[in-house]
Amino acid sequence: MSIEIILEDTRWRGLERTIEHAVEATLTHMELEPANWDITVLGCNDARITELNGDFREKAKPTNVLSWPNQERGADVEGARPLPPEGDPELGDIAISFETCDTEAKAGGISLKTHTTHLVVHGVLHLLGYDHVRDGDADLMEALEIAILAKLGVANPYIIG
């Protein structure tokens, strides 16, 4: 597996292994051999992610994570699993913003490492065709996130307490 991590914002330094571990755990949970797939993760700041969000989603505001799958893999039927990737080992790219991630972690009373793990798992699932626009798809994606995070020792991020 090739996980290319590009740190445009140096505040992400020290979290590279967290990012790698989250990618590996997600692929393994999805029964994909991590060594067979390539993903690029950009650790950036709010200014950069605002630019990317504006360019690609026409929403010029900061967000926590963005994903660009190399191929469209979404399921046609709401709540169904997307087809697994085949052929091209490049799954796509993920960008994660330091300020937004850090602010959300503090607001949620969790560590930056824990929140980063969740957002990377979320981003990888997007690369695999999972989404949360339709309710059934959102339920499936959330359940997968909870299961993957549990294996990583991270509590359910959707329990508000």
For the stretch 43-75, pLDDT in tens is 999 999 999 999 999 999 999 999 999 999 999
Given a contact cutoff of 8 angstroms between Cβ atoms, the answer to whether 128 and 73 are in contact is yes
Which pLDDT score is estimated for 159? 87
End-to-end CA distance of the chain: 37
Q: Residue 111, Cβ neighbours under 10 Å: how many?
A: 13
pLDDT, mean over the chain:
96
Domains of the chain: 2-151 (3.40.390.30)
Mean pLDDT of 108-127: 97
Mean pLDDT of 89-118: 97
Q: Residue 112, Cβ neighbours under 10 Å: how many?
A: 18
C-alpha 137/C-alpha 79 separation (Å) is 4
Retrieve residue 120's tokens: 């990377």
Which pLDDT score is estimated for 161? 58
